[in-house]
Structure 1
Amino acid sequence: MVRELRHPILVHKLNRIRDLSTPREVIRRLLEDIAVLMVYEALQEVELHRREIEIWLGKREFDFVREEDVVFVPILRAGVPMLEGALRVLPNASSGFIAIKRDEETLESKVFYSRLPDLEGMRVLILDPMLATGGTLLKALSEVKRHKPTSTASLHIICAPEGVERIDKAYPEHRLYTVSIDERLNDKGYIVPGLGDMGDRLFS
């Protein structure tokens, strides 16, 4: 399931990131802001649970999200600012980390670092600003799904249509959220018009 979130504020913030004159520290804040709004969308069907709390009238039961059942997994490096935004929404959620490197010659991706909490029965949201060929997300999903989460979703600022199609074929049950499905991939596997190299833009 693919959802393109064309909210005017999301589109505005995305296109500020596209602008090469936007400073690095502003790009980080924009990624955080976009992640906040996307997490709301991705979790709009999350189940609520009753919990008793103390209010000014005494003890009453109210509905809450079980934050501990949600795990955010950013793809290093570029997914880190998105994690900051996601944790603003659910600060008690857990986090895991996956580092994946794409070979620029073969365009194949390889996991070289994975640090995940217990994912069995959890709702996992993978955070990565760009989905290009789909190779990175395929590797991440393979790594995550062997730990038996209840569900997986991924949040991307932009996607290439080729990558979206590849993920949809491999994991039709996976939910993918993006602000923009851009035009295409170029012959080097970069998204057009895209954002450039997000990791380099964020961390020099």
Structure 2
Amino acid sequence: CMELGCRLGLVPILRAGLGMSGAIQDLIPQAEVWHLGFYRDESTLQPVEYYQKFSNSPPEIAFIVDPMLATGGSACEGIDRVKNWGVENVFLLCIIAAPEGIKKVSDIHPDVDIFTCAIDNCLNEKAYILPGLGDAGDRIFNTLK
């Protein structure tokens, strides 16, 4: 096991980001875990923050974790919060991304690398990724309606 020489932070965006955190902690066990909570206002499609838990001193590198990158709103807000915390090296980890979200994050935060497993086609009129997989948080936590 290689030991990394700097402080690393995982910042899952609640709640769906928690579903990825365990696997990342298995790969990087020394990473600290901090949290950001956002929900999307369905009428405006804008992120609304409801929770933030950071330490007094930021890590050198932070990985923001959210399985779905749709509009890029929550990702950009999360990146803003992490940069304002004092983190200089920020990465975004997701599973599925839409071109619209990639463009927004890249335009607003060109210094942030995005790592995704798949890029889907587009967003629908409700700003859900198509074909997508539905609500990642509901799937992860078995709360599908």
User: What TM-score, normalized to structure 1?
Assistant: 0.66
Of residues 143, 146, 171, the one that matches 2:84 is 146
Asked if 1:78 is matched to 2:16, the reply is: yes
Corresponding residue to 2:3 among 38, 42, 64:
64
C-alpha distance in structure 1 between counterparts of 2:56 and 2:111, whole Å: 21
Identity of aligned residues (%): 37
| In structure 2, distance between residues paired with 1:72 and 1:177 | 14
> Which amino acid is the alignment partner of residue 131 of structure 1?
L
Q: Which runs of 4+ in 1 moved over 4 A?
A: none
- Alpha-carbon distance in structure 2 between the residues aligned to 1:153 and 1:119: 18
Q: TM-score, structure 2 length as denominator?
A: 0.92
1:119 deviates by 5.0
Q: Deviations over 1:181-200 (max 9, x none)?
A: 11000000000000101111
Q: C-alpha offsets along residues 155-174 of structure 1, whole Å, 9 cap, x if unaligned?
A: 10000000100111000000
SS at match of 1:65: coil
Amino acid at match of 1:100: F
More helix by share: 1
Cα deviations across residues 7-52 of structure 1 (Å, max 9, x unaligned)?
xxxxxxxxxxxxxxxxxxxxxxxxxxxxxxxxxxxxxxxxxxxxxx
In structure 1, list runs of 5 or more residues that go unmatched. Answer: 1-62
What is the CA-CA distance between 1:131 and the residue it aligns to? 0.3
Please, which runs of 5 or more residues in structure 2 have no aligned partner?
Answer: none
Whole-angstrom CA distance in 2 between matches of 1:77 and 1:69: 24
Task: Answer whether contact 2:9 2:59 (CA < 8 A) is retained.
Answer: no
Please say if 1:176 is aligned against 2:132: no
Report the counterpart of residue 194 of structure 1 in structure 2: 132
**Counterpart of 1:126?**
64
Max Rg structure: 1
What is the number of residues matched between the two proteins? 141
Root-mean-square deviation (Å): 1.3
